[in-house]
Amino acid sequence: MPINYYIFLSLALFCIGIIGVLTRRNAIIIFMCVELMLNAANLLLVAFSKMHHLALGVNFPTLASEAQVFVFFIMVVAAAEVSVGLAIIVMLYRNTHSVDVNFLNRLKN
Amino acid sequence: MNNILQIVWLIPFLPLVGFLINGLGRKSLSKSVSGIIGCATILGSFILSIWVFIQVKNGNTFVAHYYDFVNTAALKIGFDFQIDQLSSLFLLIITGVGFLIHLYSTSYMHEEDNKDFAKYFAFLNLFVFSMLLLVMGGNYIIMFIGWEGVGLCSYLLIGYWFKNNEYNDAAKKAFIMNRIGDLGFLLAVFWLMSKTGTADYHEVFANVSKLTLTDITGITLLMFVGATGKSAQIPLYTWLPDAMAGPTPVSALIHAATMVTAGIYMIARSNVLFTMAPLTQSVIAVIGLATAILAATIALKQNDIKKVLAYSTVSQLGYMFLGLGVGAYTGAVFHVMTHAFFKALLFLGAGSVIHAMGGEQDMRNMGGLKKYMSVTHITFLLGCLAIAGMPPFSGFFSKDEILAAAYANSPVLWGIGVLGALMTAFYMFRLYAMTFHGKFRGTHEQEHHLHESPVAITIPLIVLAILAVIGGFVGIPEIFMHGGHKLEVFLEPIFAPSNAIAAKHHLEHATEYILMGVSVGGALIALLYAFSKFSKYEKTTAEESGLGKIFANKWYIDELYNTIIVKPLQSFAGFLNSLVEKKGIDGFVNGVGKAINYGSRQIRFLQSGQVGNYVLLMVVGILIMFIIQFLSK
């Protein structure tokens, strides 16, 4: 399958993520959109790695799949982020009884 | 080179040590300790100088090289001391007269505070150090270090009583006028180095044939500009009379042993260059003579005892330059020496009088002091006779030598010179008569206070008086005694190259007797006239009129300089201050500050606290980066 499909798919996912972050005010949804962007990047990494493997795998079998390891790194970061982020959202909800990010501007001053 | 004379570095080093001790420890040293340190260091230098002088007299001249001061491919300047006939003679004058002045100061300055007293001696030592560096230097650069040093020290000492604003102005005046001259000297040295590639005396004088006449004339004229500043000649002489703002011994030091003789020394040192530039020599002779006359006329009408002496110094320096200008280098150096004796004597004597009068300097309030101060009176009289050129006192021999050389050059120069000499006799005896004869004209309280000065003051006076009387015998003219001019024989190696270039004029013996007779006779008449006129001086309130008024106001030279130079400069400085500095530079700097302040206040609104805004800005930023990336490909 041509690489173009993967690129377009992940670009679409990424753009959906960005638009979601920009337009929505619900913290949970913003959070999900961020996850969406991260996974768009993951998808692209895996796709490129696979393509790379097809081109070089004959001569360098170990080298070609190493790029997929980065996906795990991103997953770990995302998991850590989720734990911190959700904790913040919970605290936000407890204080304001809302998950609207616009209330966060009270941090000012 | 392993010569025992290498040790000459001690001569300037000792005063430097004295300066450091007194300068750094001025708050903790007692008066007697700092006085002893100040005097002892100079005395040490003096003893070494005598030893060096004897060595040189035995024909042991040399250049001591200590280290490379500047060492590049194109230029090499060593930290050298040159010990020869000329510098050893100056060493004796500087340290000898300098020591007496130090000794005198211990008593004269005794009423100062402890730390001011130590400061005074520190400056005095630094002054002597700089002057020693100036005369001992083996090249023009080392000379220039000393040259600047004496300029600085004169500023410090003239402004010693810095709480008085007028004194500060006098100090600044001295410093600035010296700076003008220094610029000339510096340019001359640069010119010389660019043409010959060296600043070393020996090499410069050996390579003098490489220079064109234009070069030599330019260099020597610029050097002379330097000399006019340091040695107080027209047009830069006005600082010297104002320099009496400092304590009297400082005036003695500046006027007699150091500072003002620097210009003479420099020209005598560079005599080869000057002899090869006839134009410069004429300029020097004319300026010297003009200064001698101008200053003498001013001195006729001054009433301040120190001012009279100050103008007489300017006038005598004019004679020395006349001597240099007509090629009588020995005569000029001889006059430096005798002048150092009698002018130091006169200044210290004047200091003794001022001391007794409780700070009074106006001669109109003095009179009849001879019965109170016999030592000061007698020594002062001897000094006056010496400066007036009475035989057989020292001034007679040196002045006569210069005047004879001037006559050989042109009788006009001689005629004007003699006129100046008559005025010298007149104003000195006016001073003498007004101070020591007649009735006392001061207040009753001052009269009660009159007393002879203590020993530390009278001993230097006596020593200097002896020197002023016999100092001339080292240079008895040929016509009196064959081979009597020991100084000329001694200095012969220095001036030999010049004498080889310039044809020596020889006067008929009869002519010389006549010249001498005219100048001595004239001076005697002037002296007696002044004495008879002013010994019965009565205080009057009458204003001077006509020419006398011009003389009394110093030809309005100070006013002239003020109007054409100082005032325009000050208004220009005011303009720069108010417009360029305050509005221009300050406006720009403050404007930058204000702009940043205003800009930041505007940018602050970006930090709204709205998370959405932040994210939007971030995305826009990333997009812009992408676009730039694409466009730049």
Q: What is the pLDDT of residues B139-178, one digit of tens each?
A: 899 999 999 999 999 999 999 988 888 899 889 989 998 9
Which A-chain residues 5-44 have CB contacts (< 8 A) with chain B? 18, 21-22, 25
Instruction: Check residue B595 and give its pLDDT.
Output: 95
B327 touches B388 (CB < 8 A): no
Interface A–B counts its CB contacts (< 8 A) at: 23
Enclosing H/E stretch for B76: strand B76-83
Provide mean pLDDT across the span A10-27. 91
Residues in chain B closer than 8 A to A104 (CB atoms): 609, 611
Three-point CA angle B470, B430, B437, nearest 5°: 90
Q: Quick check: A1 contacting B, CB < 8 Å?
A: no
Say yes or no to pLDDT of B20 above 90: yes
Band of the pLDDT at A70, cuts 50, 70, 90? confident
Average pLDDT, chain B: 87
Is the bond preceding B392 in cis, omega lying within 30 degrees of 0?
yes
Q: For position B1, what pLDDT does the model report?
A: 45
d(CA B404, CA B413): 10
- Residue B200: which of B269, B259, B149 has the closest Cα? B269
The verdict on A94 touching B (C-beta cutoff 8 Å) is no
For residue B509, the model assigns a pLDDT of 79
CB-CB neighbours of B623 under 10 Å: 11
Residue-by-residue DSSP string for A77-108? HHHHHHHHHHHHHHHHHHHHS--BGGGGGGG-
Structure tokens at B605: 């609104």
* pLDDT tier, A109 (very low <50, low <70, confident <90, very high otherwise): very low
Strand partners, A26: A100
CATH of the domain at A72: 1.10.287.3510
Residue B285 pLDDT grade (very low, low, confident, very high; cuts 50, 70, 90): very high
With CB atoms and an 8 Å threshold, state whether A106 touches B615: no
> For chain A, what is the domain count?
1
Residues B498/B329, Cβ–Cβ less than 8 Å: yes
pTM of the model: 0.79
Chain B residues inside the 8 Å CB shell of A103 = none
Asked if residues B416 and B285 have their Cβ atoms less than 8 Å apart, the reply is no
Residues of chain B neighbouring A107 (CB-CB closer than 8 A): 609
User: Nearest CA of chain B to the CA of A58: how many Å?
Assistant: 34
Q: What CA–CA distance (Å, rounded) separates A85 from A101?
A: 12
Looking up tokens 């505007």 gives B602
Asked if A29 and A101 count as a contact pair (C-beta separation under 8 A), the reply is no
B594 to chain A, closest Cα gap in Å? 25
Q: Using an 8 Å Cβ cutoff, are B245 and B171 in contact? A: yes
Query: What domain range is A21 assigned to?
Result: 3-107
Chain B contact for A102 (CB, 8 A cutoff)? yes
Residues of A in contact with B608 (CB under 8 A): 105, 108
What residue spans of B537-576 are helical by DSSP H?
546-552, 557-561, 567-575
pLDDT tens digit string along B189-234?
A: 999 988 888 888 888 888 888 888 888 999 999 999 999 988 888 8
Partners of residue B614 in chain A, C-beta under 8 Å: none
CB contact under 8 Å between B610 and A21, yes or no, is no
So what's the pLDDT on residue A61?
64
Domain ranges for chain B, please list them.
Answer: 1-138, 139-552, 561-632
- State how far the Cα of B247 lies from the Cα of B157, in Å rounded to an integer: 8
